[in-house]
C-alpha cells in the first residue's frame, strides 16, 4: 500500500506519538507470521531498549534503538497503529501481528496481506542492508546527471525504469503513473530512446510529486491509514491513477489503462504520446 510519501508520513507521526515513552517494555509477535519475523531471542533483545529515533530509508522504516536497528517494511497493507494504555488483549483486531509495549501505550502492527516484515539488525549491518538502493528524494537535485545516465542504461520502458528502486527510491505504482503524466511521457516509451532533457524532467516530476504528496499526508486510494488512523488527502490530486475512461484533467481525452509489469498503468493518450 505505501509508497515513499505514505511511509514518510508514518515515520513523522510515529516520532510525534512517542516523544516521552520510548522504552520498549515488551515486544512480541501475535497471530500469524509476516514475511520475515523476529526470533524469540530478538524479541527478548528489544526489551528495555530505548527508541532513539525513527527514520526512513526508501520505503523502509528504521527504528533506531540504543543497541540495534529494528527494520519495518509495510508491504502492501501494513500499518503501525497507536493504542493508549486502556488497550487490552480483547481489543486486538483481525490481522494484528506484532506488538510493542510502552509505559503509556502500544504500537500495534496490523497487516492483512502479510507482505510486510520486521528484521532486527546491528548498526554495523545497515549500510550493507540498504546497499543497492538508489537516491533519496533529497539527493536527486545534486545527482541529477548521474540519475539520468542510470535511467538511460535501463533496457526497459520508462515506467519500469522509474519504479526500479536501484535508481531513485520511493516511486511505486501510483506515483509512477502520475510522474509520467506530469512529464508528458508515455509509460511504454523506452528509457534509452528518451532524451536526457526528458529523463531529467521525469525525475524532477517524481521529486515534485513525492514532496507534494508528503505535504498532503500521502494518498489513501484503498485503505492506507497513518499511525493515527487518519487518511491522506493526495488521492484527491491524482491526475490519472484510477481514472480509466474519465476525461483527462488537461485535455479531456479519455484516460487509458494498460498493464505494465503486471501492474495497472494509467495515462492520457493525447498528453503522453509515445513519439514525443
Partner DNA sequence: CGAAAAACCTGGCAGC
Partner DNA sequence: TGCTGCCAGGTTTTTC
Q: Which of 59, 189, 239, 243 is catalytic?
A: 59
Residue 155: partners with Cβ closer than 8 Å, 6 or more residues away: 190, 191, 192
Under the binding rule (CB under 7 A), the answer on residue 223 touching DNA is: yes
Number of residues that bind DNA (CB under 7 A): 37
Q: Which of 81, 208, 249, 263 is catalytic?
A: 263
Under the binding rule (CB under 7 A), the answer on residue 9 touching DNA is: no
Cβ proximity to DNA, 22 vs 35, nearer residue: 35
- Cβ burial, residue 34 (10 Å; 0-12/13-18/19+): buried
CA-to-CA dists, residue 217 to 118, 161, 179, 247, angstroms: 23, 26, 18, 26
Cβ proximity to DNA, 49 vs 265, nearer residue: 265
273 among known catalytic residues: no
**Residues 15, 17, 20, 23, CA torsion sign:** negative
Out of 69, 148, 174, 238, the residue judged to bind DNA by CB under 7 A: 174
Cβ atoms of 230 and 211 within 8 Å: the answer is no
Report the nearest approach of DNA to the CB of residue 119 (Å).
Answer: 10
Under the binding rule (CB under 7 A), the answer on residue 154 touching DNA is: yes
- φ, ψ of residue 247 in degrees (nearest 5): -75, 140
Cβ neighbours around 269 below 10 Å, total? 14
Under the binding rule (CB under 7 A), the answer on residue 131 touching DNA is: no
Report the nearest approach of DNA to the CB of residue 41 (Å).
Answer: 21
Query: Which residues between 10 and 69 bind DNA (CB under 7 A)?
Result: 32, 35, 58-60
- Cβ burial, residue 164 (10 Å; 0-12/13-18/19+): middle
Out of 22, 29, 81, 95, the residue judged to bind DNA by CB under 7 A: 95
19 among known catalytic residues: no
Report the nearest approach of DNA to the CB of residue 87 (Å).
Answer: 21
Cβ atoms of 55 and 75 within 8 Å: the answer is no
Per DSSP, the three-state class of 130 is coil
Q: Give the residues lining the site for DNA (CB under 7 A).
A: 1-3, 6, 32, 35, 58-60, 73, 75-76, 94-95, 112-115, 154-156, 160, 165, 172-174, 218-224, 261-264
Amino acid at each position: 500500500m505505501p509508497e515513499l510519501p505514505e511511509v514518510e508520513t508514518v515515520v513523522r507521526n510515529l516520532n510525534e506519538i512517542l516523544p516521552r515513552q520510548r522504552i520498549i517494555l515488551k515486544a512480541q509477535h501475535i497471530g500469524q507470521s509476516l514475511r520475515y519475523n523476529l526470533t524469540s531471542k530478538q524479541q527478548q533483545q528489544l526489551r528495555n531498549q530505548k527508541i532513539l529515533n525513527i527514520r526512513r530509508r526508501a520505503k523502509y522504516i528504521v527504528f533506531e534503538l540504543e543497541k540495534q536497528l529494528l527494520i519495518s517494511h509495510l508491504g502492501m497493507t501494513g500499518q503501525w497503529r497507536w493504542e493508549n494504555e486502556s488497550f487490552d488483549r480483547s481489543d486486538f483486531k483481525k490481522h494484528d501481528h506484532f506488538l510493542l509495549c510502552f509505559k503509556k501505550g502500544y504500537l500495534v502492527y496490523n497487516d492483512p496481506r502479510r507482505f510486510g516484515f520486521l528484521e532486527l539488525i546491528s548498526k554495523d549491518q545497515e549500510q550493507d542492508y540498504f546497499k543497492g538502493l538508489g537516491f533519496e528524494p533529497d539527493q536527486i537535485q545534486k545527482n541529477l546527471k548521474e540519475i539520468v545516465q542510470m535511467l538511460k542504461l535501463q533496457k526497459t520502458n520508462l515506467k519500469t525504469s522509474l519504479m526500479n528502486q536501484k535508481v531513485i527510491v520511493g516511486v511505486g505504482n501510483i506515483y509512477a503513473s502520475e510522474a509520467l503524466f506530469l512529464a508528458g511521457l508515455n509509460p511504454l516509451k523506452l528509457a534509452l530512446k528518451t532524451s536526457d532533457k526528458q529523463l531529467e524532467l521525469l525525475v524532477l516530476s517524481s521529486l515534485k510529486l513525492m514532496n507534494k504528496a508528503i505535504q498532503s499526508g500521502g494518498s489513501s486510494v484503498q485503505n492506507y491509514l497513518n499511525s493515527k488512523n487518519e487518511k491522506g488527502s493526495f488521492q484527491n490530486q491524482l491526475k490519472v491513477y484510477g481514472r480509466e475512461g474519465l476525461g483527462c484533467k488537461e485535455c479531456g481525452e479519455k484516460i487509458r489503462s494498460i498493464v505494465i509489469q503486471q501492474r495497472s498503468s494509467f495515462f492520457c493518450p493525447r498528453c503522453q504520446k509515445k513519439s514525443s
